[in-house]
Amino acid sequence: MCLNIFLNALILYFLQVVSDDTLNQEGTGGTVVLLMVRDAYANYVVQTAIDVVPEGTEKRMLIDELKANEAHLVSLSFSVSYIFLRITDLFSHR
């Protein structure tokens, strides 16, 4: 129970908006998770979060944030493409 609360709180942190001019061409920034998936090591944290965070509002919000930015993110690297394959696989088994 406590672990689920911690994981959900962590996802809410991932979804916080930060300012980073390199996130998009408009310079409006984005969320912590968008920065993470672009990092060679932090993207593995996102992949693990997708696997271990319990089903619920927070996980849905995380996946929605990633899918909303899919067009921009998928071209960045194999690791980001792999995240989207995991998301697709996750929902195809329901």
DSSP sequence for 58-91 = HHHHHHHHHHHTHHHHTTT-HHHHHHHHHHHHHH
**Residue 52 predicted with pLDDT over 80:** yes
Highest mean pLDDT among 15-24, 28-37, 68-77: 28-37
The stretch 69-79 carries a mean pLDDT of: 73
Going from N- to C-terminal start, the domains of the chain cover: 2-92
User: Considering the entire predicted model, what is its pTM?
Assistant: 0.75
Torsion of CA 5, 19, 44, 79, to 10 degrees: 140
Pick from 39, 38, 64: which is nearest to 50 by CA? 64
**Residue 71 predicted with pLDDT over 50:** yes
**Residue 30 predicted with pLDDT over 80:** yes
The Cα–Cα gap between 31 and 10 comes to 13
Higher pLDDT: 8 or 87? It is 8
